[in-house]
Structure 1
Amino acid sequence: MKTTLYERLGGEEGIKLIVDDTVTAHMNNPAISARFLPFKDKPEQLAVIKKHTVDFFSAGSGGPAHYGGKDMVMTHTGMNISPGEYLHVMDDIFIALDKNSISEDSKTEVLAILWSLKDMIISK
């Protein structure tokens, strides 16, 4: 029996680490940091964003989590995220996946998920 992507990402705890590492990378990425640095002074709001992200990726990768947040279009409407910014976000996610020793096969699955979401996020 094949393990789920959720299991291969380390379950909820592994996904939490990946999300934390991704947010840190975003805050240090000059191409997108302006979108994330304001949350440094709003730890409660940042914690909610991280929780939604963990739930979203947990549910979407075959885990038992339930995502109760807004859909991707509603979440990103008004942000006017450029294709370049989206690529930087993807790069940061892959930095976090590498840092957490995620396999190439699992990273390929994550890439497919991220690519499937792009039209719901870019230029909304």
Structure 2
Amino acid sequence: MNKSLFERLGGREGISTIVDNTVTNHMENPAVKARFLPLKDQPQRLAIIKSHTIDFFSAGSGGPATYTGKDMVTAHTGMNISPGEYMHVMDDIFKALDQNGIDEESKKDVLAILWSLKGMMISK
């Protein structure tokens, strides 16, 4: 029996670690860190963003989760994210997947999800 992407990512605990690693990667990435470093001084806001991200990826990968955050267009409107920034963010996510030993098939599934969201986030 095939495991869901949620299970292959390590369930909620694994996704939580991947999100933590991704945020750290964003804060260290010269191309996008200016967007993320201010969150260090806003720990409550950062915790909410991480929680929503964990719920979003848990629900979207077949896990028992309910996402209650904003839709992607609403959440990213006004941010004017460039295509290049989006690619850097994707690179940071894949670095986190590698840091957590996620297999190639699962990484391809994550790529499909991220690619499907691209138009909802870029230049909004």
TM-based fold match above 0.5: yes
Partner of 1:102: 102
Partner AA of 2:32 in structure 1:
I
Per-residue displacement from partner, 1:40-98 (whole Å, max 9, x unpaired)?
Answer: 01111100000000000000000000000000000000000000000000000000000
| Matched pairs, number | 124
Q: Does 1:118 align with 2:111?
A: no
3-state SS of paired residue (1:89)? helix
**Which ranges of 4 or more aligned residues in structure 1 deviate by more than 3 Å?**
none
CA distance in 1, matches of 2:40, 2:111: 27
Give 3-state SS (helix, strand or coil) of 2:65's partner.
coil
User: SS at 2:89's partner residue?
Assistant: helix
Q: CA offset at residue 10 of structure 1?
A: 0.1
SS at match of 1:65: coil
Aligned partners of 1:56, 1:72: CA distance in 2, in Å? Answer: 10
Could you tell me how far 1:120 is from its partner in structure 2? 0.3
Shift of 1:35: 0.3
TM-score between the two structures when normalised by the length of structure 2: 0.99
Counterpart for residue 60 of structure 1? 60
What is the rounded CA distance, in whole Å, between the counterparts of 1:121 and 1:45 in structure 2? Answer: 20
Residue 88 of structure 1: aligned partner = 88
Partner letter of residue 16 of structure 2? K
- Give the TM-score taking structure 1 as reference length: 0.99
Task: Calculate the aligned-residue CA RMSD, in Å.
Answer: 0.3
Tell me the secondary structure at the aligned position of residue 57 of structure 2. helix
Alignment of 1:1-124 (within 5 A): 1-124=1-124
- Structure 1 gaps of 5+ residues are none
Matched letter for residue 3 of structure 1: K
